[in-house]
Amino acid sequence: MLAPIVFLARMPLDIAVPILFMLNVMTCIWVSLRLGMNKFIVIPFFIFFGSMMNAVMGNIDGLLALGLLCPPWLGIIILMIKPQVGFPIALFWVANELTKTGTMQQKVYRVALMLSPFIVLFVASTIMYGAWFLNSVDAIGKSWNTAPWPLGIPVGVWLIGAGIQKRDISFALMAIPFVTPYLTIYTWSFSAMGAFIALSHLFTQVQYAMRKVSTKPRMKAVVE
């Protein structure tokens, strides 16, 4: 995923910026649809709930969203480019793995396999650049920080727990603003994505139930 960004960095700004914008637009919409968002909702979601502004500002959140469709070991590497986004998703994937069938030894082994690529890269980056992750501590007190941390932690933990119970990553997306210590207003778009995906799933379930109920009288009439 980083290869196209490195390529864009070598291009003139008046060419690279529009290309980056379009990549963010296409990937955000595609990922939303792949995760189950209703096709009639996806465009209003993108325009009015932060994703478009993210793309306009030159952020790469749309590209990061590709990590949601990857195997967890790769998804964690991609999403942890923005730790404030990746941490809640990584927590969901780890907890989800621990609740699957198998002995505790098997579960721990699977989690270790999932996390080991990221841990190797994290250690390597720390050796190369020092404790770079401590630079973000100052962000907690910035005026642009909109995360309700730490008051929102119980809400975030409940959402992640609900996602594990339902095996639905959209709840982990909704949890992002509540368990991260810093977040810009535009990055709430991940939470909005999760909310609209969950609503789309609920709408589909309601439609299915209504169809099931409406077909019962017809079936009974045919039998009579």
Question: What tens digit of pLDDT does each residue of 75-87 get?
Answer: 999 999 888 889 9
> Which stretch of 112-121, 155-164, 209-218 has the lowest confidence by average pLDDT?
209-218
Between 135 and 35, the higher pLDDT residue: 35
Q: Is the pLDDT of residue 209 over 60?
A: yes
Q: Residues 38-46: what's their mean pLDDT?
A: 89
Q: Is the pLDDT of residue 174 over 80?
A: yes
Which tokens hold the place of 131?
């404790």
* pLDDT value for 136: 80
* pTM of the full structure: 0.84
Q: Is the pLDDT of residue 3 over 70?
A: no
Where b means 16+ CB within 10 Å and e means fewer, 14-40 reads eebeeebbebbbebbbebbeebebbee
* pLDDT value for 120: 95
CA dist 66 to 27, 100, 124, 198, 219, Å? 7, 24, 24, 18, 44
Q: Residues 173-190: what's their mean pLDDT?
A: 90
**Where does the pLDDT of residue 4 fall: very low under 50, low under 70, confident under 90, or very high at 90 and above?**
low
Kindly report the number of other CB atoms within 10 A of residue 111's CB atom: 17
H or E element at residue 171:
helix 169-179
Give residue-wise pLDDT tens across range 76-115.
999 998 888 899 999 999 998 998 888 899 999 999 999 9
Q: Residues 175-192: what's their mean pLDDT?
A: 89
Q: Residues 202-206: what's their mean pLDDT?
A: 86
* pLDDT value for 156: 93
Q: Residues 16-32: what's their mean pLDDT?
A: 88
**Where does the pLDDT of residue 223 fall: very low under 50, low under 70, confident under 90, or very high at 90 and above?**
very low
Helices 2-9 and 13-34: crossing angle, nearest 10°? 160
- Domain assignments of the chain as residue spans, ordered by start: 2-223
Q: Residues 61-65: what's their mean pLDDT?
A: 88
User: pLDDT exceeding 70 applies to what percent of the chain?
Assistant: 92
